Amino acid sequence: MVCRSRFVVTAGAIAGILAASLAGCGGGGDDGGGKDGRGGTLRIVGSSDPDHLDPASGYTFASLALTRTFARPLFLTRSSNTFEETIPIQADVAAEVPTKDNGGISADGKTYTIKLRSGVTWNSKPAREVTAGDYVRGLKRLCNPASPSGGQGYYRSTILGMDAYCKAYGKVDAKNAAAMAGYQNGHDIDGLKAKDDRTLVVKLTRPAGDMLNILALQFASAAPKEYDQYVPDGQEFRTHTLSDGPYEITGYSPNRTITLGRNPAWKGASDPLRPAYVDAIQINLGQDSPDAVQQQLEQGTADLALDSPVPTAAISRLKSAKDDRFAIRRSPSISPFLVFNSQSPNNGKALADKRVRQAIEYAIDKSALVKIYGGPDVAEPLNQVIPPGNVGYQKYDTYGTPGDQGDAAKCKALLAAAGHPALTLKFPFRVSGNSPKVAQSVQANLRSCGVNAQITPDSSGDFYGKSLVSPAAAREGKWDVAAPNWSPDWYGNNGRSVIQPLFDGRTYGQNSTNYGAYDNPAVNGLIDQALEAQDQGKAADLWHRADRQIMDDAAVVPFLNPNFAIYHSNRIRNAMFIPTIQAYDYTKVRLGG
């Protein structure tokens, strides 16, 4: 989360920018893989720091791709270039996937008994085995008041006693590491118990068919006892992370570099999902131009992009050239979308008025946004919250316009009828990827219906950490509208992974992903009914009804359902995609000549 000066990149300036970027990135040298594909340094370039380095709170694609290398949950999904292969749950630190048949799930579906595999160790001094108690600690940390997890709602709504535990934890001094550790260690959660070092028992408030998906998220990684010494995700924490995965953070310079090397305590036999071919991972930050990043990848002076997509202008060229380093991968999502800060005091609290939000629904030219992303092969307009390929999706359009091009006249008329003919909206945007172009396009759309959108650049870290997930910033009116991304945390049985984190008003607070503080009791009730439904068809109908209510309330303006254009250098072999984080798996990449 960075604050950097910004500049306009012109065609004439790109050569100079590239020269500086390439010099800073380096190339050549003895960093390639060996003959067996092992070894070498994977070189990644990015815009800014990930939102968090703490696995409990990291929630951007960049942080999730990174923490996957050093923090291991009980379960995980496989990376693959075949979308369907990425859906089934795999055992990670768990010895096996629990089922009713093997006794891991009780007959009533409310108790999970999970056995841990042996040989999984922390890189502590001395090294020691990961225990069931470390998973209890990891789950307890999710609702710490200093850097609470944006995904905590999944666990609070399922694990017996966790909601009450979290409510009380929120009152602890967020600046006092000892006070937070004291609360965690002095208060139990009824539904979490380390039966012994190798057995974790999880009890639920009611059956949840997606519980294994929830436990397969990075949030649910184990946490070592050493983490009790630090404020979660504070600067001291960031320089004292421990690892039970194949890599460990060996160097961190905020907003400049992150370096990972092999974890000497990791044993390949204990990890069925991370072959860990490369010896090191070097991440260079501060490179905001997608064009500069793309040229580094094509010239081979960098291997992967951390947070920058393939520039739109390059997509048709790469497709025509049949460049095998380029791919368009399936990753159904609502990315980006426009969210309204319903708590903003600006404009006489205009955004709290549903009529104002409904007017703005008509303003957006979604066809122009499709072009920004590279055309219909890469993205399609989205007019509801749940994207295609997700449970509860049914195509409909509450605010339809011809060709999805927007209707400025209708927007202007509705704003006038609502008593707000001239709005000025604070609109922060991320500096990475297509975000600047999206902000400029939306700004022009809003201008056409009399709305002055004041767009301001922000690093991805500050965009989320200091604006969207900060209730104080929302109440102070530091932002009015923004365009974040949202990709479901899992696919398959994933109704809980779209509606609940974005629109369940009961979980709003620090680090909540319900960015706009939307809270409709009717939607909250539909969420509960959908989660309790045993019949998947009934659940899908309930999720769809929630979707319609959210759109009737104009809580957000969905923009696009994109596929993901991705590119790697000519050194990369075995690039396996992770749809939920739109990245290649760093632990599976091999380096060639």
Say what the pLDDT of residue 516 is.
Answer: 98
* DSSP structural state of residue 531: H
**Second CATH level (architecture) for the domain 11-47+247-314+565-591:** 3-Layer(aba) Sandwich (3.40)
Q: How far apart are CA 31 and CA 278, in angstroms?
A: 9
**pTM for the structure as a whole:** 0.80
Q: What is the distance between the alpha carbons of residues 130 and 118, in angstroms, rounded to a whole number?
A: 8
In the chain, residues under CATH classification 3.40.190.10 are 11-47+247-314+565-591
Q: Output b/e per residue, 371-388; b: 16+ Cβ within 10 A.
A: ebbbeeebbbbbbbbbbe
pLDDT of residue 532: 82
The torsion angles phi and psi of 334, rounded to 5 degrees, stand at: -110, 85
CATH fold for the domain made of 71-238: Dipeptide-binding Protein; domain 1 (3.90.76)
* H or E, element range at 423: strand 423-430
pLDDT at 7: 22
Residue ranges, comma separated, of all CATH 3.90.76.10 domains in the chain are 71-238
Per-residue model confidence (pLDDT) at position 36: 67
- In angstroms, the CA 116 to CA 197 distance is 8
Q: Which DSSP symbol is given to 463?
A: I
- Specify the residue for token string 């965690």: 184
Closest CA to 198 of 135, 140, 242: 135
pLDDT, block means (10 residues), the chain with 593 residues: 26 32 36 75 94 94 97 98 95 98 96 98 98 99 96 94 97 98 98 99 94 97 98 96 99 96 98 98 93 96 94 91 96 95 98 99 98 92 93 95 98 98 96 91 98 91 88 97 94 90 91 95 95 85 98 98 95 97 97 87
| Residue 186 exposure: Cα atoms within 13 Å on the Cβ side | 9
Nearest to 203 by CA among 160, 165, 152, 155: 160
Length of the chain in residues, anyone? 593
Q: Where in the chain is the domain with CATH 3.10.105.10?
A: 337-562
H-state helical runs in 187-321: 211-215, 235-238, 290-299, 312-320
Q: Which residues contact 504 (CB under 8 A, 6 or more apart)?
A: 153, 157, 514, 523, 524, 527
Q: List the CATH code of the domain at 337-562.
A: 3.10.105.10
